[in-house]
Structure formats: C-alpha cells, structure tokens
C-alpha cells in the first residue's frame, strides 16, 4: 500500500508543461541545445533514466523498496507502457541488456515475430511495395514480445514478482496521469487514424468523442484491467489465454494474419552478447536481429584504428568528415549482411573485428572527398518512435532496455477491450530487398519477410564497462539514428570527457549509406556544415537526430549520474536517490 500511495500522489502532482517546439520528425527541441546542460540526476543508491519522469519515479520507488535494477527496469517499462503508448507497450517488442554485479551479461531478444502466414511478397502489389500495408493496420503487426521478455528478465535476475512490479503502472492506468505537451503533440499527429479504429477510439478519445487535450487527466481502465490479468496469470493470459484469443479474433475480423497459435508459439530468446573493446573500455550490446550492437562496436573500432579522436576534446572538420564515412561503411554492411541470424548467417565476428575495421579505415583514408552520389535513393527521413531506459542500482547491477511499437502508436490499431496498441514492426522487414523502408533504409534478402522471422532493428541498448565496473548504460530512439545517437553519447563521455548531460546536448550528425546524405542537426556550427558541403557531402539539416537516455559514472561526483535527452521533454526524465 505504501508504494501505491507514493505513486498516486505523484500522479496528481505531476504537471509537465514544456516550452519545447515540435519539428516534423516527432522530436522536441529547444533553442540553444548545443552546449547546454540537460538536467542531471545524481544518486548514491540508484539511478533511472527514461523519457518520462513519472516512469522513472516508478523505477526509483522500486529501488527504494528493496528491488534491484532488473525489478526497477521492468516496473519502469510497464509504466512507460501507460504514459508513453505512442512509443511502447505490451503490444510491442524489446531488447534487454543486463550486466549483473558479478560480471554476468545477459541479452534478451523480445523482438516481434512474423506470423506463420507471412510471406516474402505480402506487401507487393503490381510489382511495387504498398508501404501503407506494412505501416498501418492488422497486416503491419508482428507477434508481440514485450511480455515474454519482461518475464524472462525477472526470472533470470529479478527479486520481485510480476504482481509487485506491475502494481504502480496499473495504478497510473486506473487513476490517470496528466497529459503534457509532448504527449499531446504526438497524439494529435495520429488521432485521425486512431479515431477510425474502434479499439483505439475507445481508449484515446473522451466519452463525447473529442480529442485528448494537454493538462487533461487521462485514465485507461481497460489497460488497467489488462495489467491486472497479466499480473495474475502471466504469459498464460497473454500468449495462451484470453488476450491471445482476443488478438486472434481481431485479426480474423480485420484481415490480419496473426493466429492464436502464433501467439502461443512466441518465445523470447537469450542471445550471445555483442562484445567489443574500445581503448580501455568493454562494450556490450545486442546481437541480431538488432544491428545496433554490431555497428556501434564496428564504428568505435574504426575510430580507434584511425586515431581521429585521439587527444581531442571536441568535433572538428576532419573528425566529422571521417566519422561520417565510418558510419557510411557500417550502414553499407547493415544493408548487405544484417537480418535474423536464425534464418540467415550474419558474419558477426568479421564485422566487429579490429582487422576488418582497419581495412575499412584504409579504404576511407584513400579518398580525400565524398564520391559522386547515387541519386536514385530517396531522401526519405521517416519518423522514429521507440524509447529506451537505463537503470543502475546500489549493488552495481545495470540494465539497458529498448522497447518499441515502431511508428507512432504502432500500427494504430488496438485490441478491442484491452487498451493494448499493437506494433507496426513488419515494416522493419525489407518488403522488397533493395527498396527503402519508412526510414530510407535498404536491406538485402537477409531481412526479407518470412514466417516466424524477426525483423532487423537499429535499437542499441548498450552497457560500457571499465575495470570491471559499468561506466555507461544507455540506448536511444529514432530509427537508424539510434545507432549514431548512442555513438555520439559514448564519444562525448569517453573521448571528450563531458558529463552525461553535456554529452547529450552536443549537436549530432548521421550517415546511413542510403540515402547518400549527411544529416546534421540545425545547431551544428555553420562552419562545420560548410566544410562538409565543400568536401562533397549533401548536407541536410534536421531538428533532431535521435534521442538518448543514459547513465554514466562521474569522477566528479564519485557516483552515477543520469540524464535524458534535451530533445524530448527538455531532458527531465532522469531520477536518482
């Protein structure tokens, strides 16, 4: 009851009114982000960083109640499924990286899975991709993995029951929370489609049919009831019981492919961690079907081999030019080799090897400018709606989680009577190999649609270790920009010796092979932009290139410091005690 009282009072005291501006890519920025400190949370006993302060407070209260980082992580994730449904929830998927205090590392693959009736050409009409089918509606939905991943994490290393860690989130759903500007801006962009779906309309609109508004108390009784049933019956309810039946019926009635058998056959998979070394640090990440772990390590290897950041405390023309080319090389490998390793061999060892990195660096160094662009690829720059959170406890257990429903509110369909929005993760397959998806990314046969297969992802939950102790726990949101946003944050802390808040505030740049353009944030210095243009890049200004939630060890404070990206909610999501 004590936990309930804490959450209840916090719910009604929370009123976040951000002075941030929404740009066309769904990120929230404020002027002068470069060089500004985002809010930092310093704590001796535990730190939680997420996109929403209410969810982070849930995690902190679990730590205060004696739970460990895994308990707090699952409680935080379940709370985000209430206050941040545009990004995540039980109807989505997750990657989880856990490093326990004894040094054991677990990586859990809770990625969505293609239904048994899925096939390679299911989104092809008259020889062309019908992208709307893979982005919106029942055909866009993969079998959800979040519930299985969360329960597996608790089983592996948690100390509390599902009933205990889900209680705060259930209370928020039942009693309501106050909507802030960030939530409502995202909601308004999806409201038209949500209104058309009966299951969504009963959740995301007022009784009189009007849209949700900022400062409104938003209650979700259907989701609270679903959480109660999940708490009581666990995976049996979700994958083999009432919820699975409701999903099967919804799909049958609306032309979807997922069956009750597909739900029952879902399994979370414990994968081998991606393990790299960067200078004096060890880097642990997620392996396929995530591309994040491989390519974060691969780009770090190239940076180390080139020495481009040695003895530097900030970006300069040469380092931006070369690191952008390293990104280009990594994303080329992503397009050619990455997919679900259970279906297609992925040359992981080669891609993350130091020798291969040196080969790529030699290729880059041999060309002084950017080669002529291939203009046939679109400059598509799709919305990226995922979220991540990071936790460390007083014992040194660390957890990094990325979870997602892919696009805003996923497929923008909700299972009637449950309050659970379903993902649009099928769009992360290569619907037609060589043809760009929502994010402008291309893929090969390795990522073609197939029954039971998991789509390629850019989610990059990452834990960095030095001398046997975690020094960074982080991940990001923003489609393919996740990989480079995580990279920028790591470099800001490890190479530029910045606090985690300052590292998050640095202007970012991003290259993903196709389209052949260098995306830069608007607050990057003009002389750097001009220099990149002069050296052959097609430079494209963007208001935000991914968002990151991170925790880092602080020598100054002799403890951990958490921060949330200032590009979202002005960076108010980290909590500590």
Q: Choosing from 226, 386, 418, 462, which is the catalytic residue?
A: 386
Q: Is 386 a catalytic residue?
A: yes
For residues 368-392, one letter each, b for 16 or more C-beta atoms within 10 angstroms of the residue's C-beta and e for the rest, the string is eebeeeeeebeeebbbbbbbbbbbb
Instruction: Please choose, from the candidates 110, 53, 43, the residue with its C-alpha nearest in 3D space to the C-alpha of residue 79.
Output: 53
| Radius of gyration, CA atoms only, the chain | 22
Instruction: Please choose, from the candidates 210, 213, 211, 228, the residue with its C-alpha nearest in 3D space to the C-alpha of residue 174.
Output: 228
Rounded CA separation 572/369 (Å): 40
Q: Kindly report the backbone phi and psi dihedral angles of residue 414, in degrees, each rounded to the nearest multiple of 5, phi listed first.
A: -125, 135
Asked whether the beta carbons of 6 and 61 are under 8 A apart, the reply is yes
Asked whether the beta carbons of 174 and 4 are under 8 A apart, the reply is no
Rounded CA separation 343/453 (Å): 7
Instruction: Please choose, from the candidates 118, 199, 100, the residue with its C-alpha nearest in 3D space to the C-alpha of residue 397.
Output: 100
Q: Find the helix or strand (DSSP H, E) in which 491 lies.
A: helix 481-494
Asked whether the beta carbons of 449 and 123 are under 8 A apart, the reply is yes
Q: Is the dihedral of CA 243, 11, 49, 45 positive or negative?
A: negative
Asked whether the beta carbons of 234 and 74 are under 8 A apart, the reply is no
Beta strand ranges found along 222-319 (DSSP E): 269-271, 274-278, 281-285
Helices (H), 255-315: 260-264, 292-306
Residue 136 DSSP one-character state = S
Looking only at Cα atoms, what is the longest distance across the chain?
66
Classify residue 570 by burial, with Cβ atoms within 10 Å: 0-12, 13-18, 19+: buried
3-state secondary structure at position 35? coil
- Give the active site residues: 386
């Amino acid at each position: 009851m004590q936990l309930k009282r804490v959450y209840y009072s916090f719910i009604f005291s929370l009123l976040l009114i951000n002075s941030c501006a929404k740009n066309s890519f769904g990120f929230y920025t404020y002027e002068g982000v470069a060089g500004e400190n985002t809010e930092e949370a310093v704590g001796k006993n535990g730190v939680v960083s997420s996109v929403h302060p209410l969810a982070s407070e849930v995690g902190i209260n679990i730590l205060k109640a004696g739970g460990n980082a895994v308990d707090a992580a699952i409680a935080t994730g379940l709370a985000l499924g209430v206050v941040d449904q545009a990004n995540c929830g039980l109807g989505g998927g997750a990657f989880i990286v856990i490093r326990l205090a004894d040094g054991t590392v677990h990586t859990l693959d809770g990625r969505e899975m293609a239904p048994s009736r899925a096939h390679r050409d299911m989104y092809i009409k008259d020889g062309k991709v019908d992208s709307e089918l893979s982005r919106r509606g029942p055909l866009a939905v993969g079998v959800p993995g979040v519930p299985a991943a969360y329960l597996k994490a608790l089983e592996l290393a948690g100390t509390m029951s599902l009933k205990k860690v889900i209680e705060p989130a259930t209370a928020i759903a039942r009693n309501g929370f106050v909507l802030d500007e960030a939530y409502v801006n995202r909601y308004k962009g999806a409201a038209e489609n949500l209104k058309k779906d009966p299951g969504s309309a009963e959740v995301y609109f007022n009784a009189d049919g009007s849209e949700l508004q900022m400062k409104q108390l938003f209650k979700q009784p259907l989701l609270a009831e679903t959480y109660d049933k999940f708490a009581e019956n666990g995976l049996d309810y979700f994958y083999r019981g009432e919820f699975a039946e409701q999903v099967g019926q919804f799909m049958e009635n609306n032309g979807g492919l997922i069956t009750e058998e597909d739900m029952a056959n879902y399994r979370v998979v414990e994968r081998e961690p991606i393990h790299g070394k960067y200078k004096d640090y060890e880097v642990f990440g997620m392996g396929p079907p995530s591309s994040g772990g491989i390519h974060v390590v691969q780009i770090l290897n190239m940076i180390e081999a080139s020495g481009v950041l040695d003895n530097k405390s900030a970006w300069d023309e040469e380092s931006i030019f070369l690191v952008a080319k390293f990104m280009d090389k990594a994303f080329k490998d992503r397009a050619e080799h990455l997919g679900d390793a259970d279906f297609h061999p992925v040359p992981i060892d080669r891609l993350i090897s130091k020798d291969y990195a040196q080969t790529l660096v030699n290729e880059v160094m041999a060309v002084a400018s950017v080669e002529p662009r291939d203009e046939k690829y679109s400059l598509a720059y799709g919305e990226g709606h995922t979220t991540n959170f990071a936790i460390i406890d007083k014992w040194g257990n660390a957890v990094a989680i990325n979870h997602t429903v892919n696009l805003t509110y996923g497929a923008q369909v909700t299972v009637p009577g449950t309050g659970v929005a379903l993902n649009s993760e099928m769009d992360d397959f290569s619907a037609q190999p060589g043809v760009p998806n929502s994010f402008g990314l291309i893929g090969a046969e390795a990522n073609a649609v197939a029954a039971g297969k998991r789509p390629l992802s850019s989610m990059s939950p990452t834990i960095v270790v030095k001398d046997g102790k975690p020094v960074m726990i982080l991940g990001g949101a923003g489609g393919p920009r996740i990989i480079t946003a995580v990279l920028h944050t790591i470099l800001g802390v490890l190479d530029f010796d910045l606090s985690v808040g300052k590292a998050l505030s640095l202007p970012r740049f991003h290259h993903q092979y196709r389209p052949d353009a260098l995306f830069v944030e608007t607050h990057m210095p003009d002389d750097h932009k001009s220099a990149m243009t002069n050296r052959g890049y097609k430079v494209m200004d963007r208001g935000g290139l991914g968002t990151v939630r991170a925790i880092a060890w602080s020598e100054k404070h002799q403890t951990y410091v958490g921060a949330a990206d200032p590009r979202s909610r002005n960076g108010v999501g980290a909590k500590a005690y």
